[in-house]
Amino acid sequence: MENIKERIESLRKEMRNAGVAAYVIPSQDPHLSEYTPEHWQARSWFSGFSGSAGTLVVTMDESGLWTDGRYFIQAERELSGSDIKLFRMGVSGVPGVGEYLCGKLKPGESAGFDARMFPAARLRIMRGMFSGKGIGTVPCDLVTPLWKDRPPMPHTEVYVHGARYAGYTCAEKINQVRAMLAKHGADGQIYTRRSEERR
């Protein structure tokens, strides 16, 4: 657990330099995937929690990890001795990340985060909650300067998910999408998450 404590303290130094009183690290990568390549597993690297879903929040005097019921037992075990408090999502009386930060930060303070890892809708909600309390937001990457031995970005070949698995060829799937676009009078569709891809 000493490595985890040292990493959190190093993060706090970066936070001071960036002028933020809190830093939020979600599980997602820039594609908003739940199951991410090692390169994007910053939440795990800083906390020691290896579950696929969770959010780490570090302030100047405490840190907390939010996760859902699938991971309560695992999180208790993996966070033991780290000084990171477990927030059990979905349990009555447990604040969400935004609610916690609104109660923790003072007017004039800011929360930092790598904006690439958040859906725009979630950022709008957080900014709305914070602005009502006089709390600012600062998009910043405080992970890269600290994670010196970070695994490289994955470099794998793109391949076609064959019709024998998907039930349709690529051309058939494209034609299905075009038919739906025409039905709804749309010119195109944007896929922002890899899990939204038609198989």
SS3 letters for the chain? CHHHHHHHHHHHHHHHHHCCCEEEEECCCCCCCCCCCHHHCHHHHHHCCCCCCCEEEEECCCEEEEECHHHHHHHHHHHCCCCEEEEECCCCCCCCHHHHHHHHCCCCCEEEECHHHCCHHHHHHHHHHHHCCCCEEEECCCCCCCCCCCCCCCCCCCCCCCHHHHCCCHHHHHHHHHHHHHHCCCCCCCCCCHHHCCC
Domain map of the chain by residue range?
Answer: 2-139, 163-196
Count Cβ atoms below 10 Å from residue 36 Cβ, excluding itself: 21
The answer on pLDDT for 24 being more than 90 is yes
Sign of the alpha-carbon torsion through 15, 20, 25, 30? negative
The answer on pLDDT for 57 being more than 50 is yes
The pLDDT score that the predictor gives to residue 33 is 84
Pick the closest to residue 99 from 119, 67, 117, 126 (CA basis).
126
| Tokens encoding 168 | 């349709």
Q: Give 154-189 pLDDT, tens digit per residue.
A: 888 888 888 898 899 989 999 999 999 999 999 998
* Chain center to CA of 50: 13
Instruction: Give the architecture-level CATH label for domain 2-139.
Output: 3-Layer(aba) Sandwich (3.40)
This prediction has a pTM of 0.83
Distance CA 179, CA 110 (A): 47
User: Residue range 188-192: average pLDDT?
Assistant: 81
Least confident of 53-57, 65-69, 140-144, 194-198: 194-198
The answer on pLDDT for 78 being more than 90 is yes
The pLDDT score that the predictor gives to residue 85 is 98
Distance CA 25, CA 23 (A): 7
* End-to-end Cα, the chain, rounded Å: 42
Give the model's confidence band at 193: pLDDT under 50 very low, under 70 low, under 90 confident, else very high. Answer: low
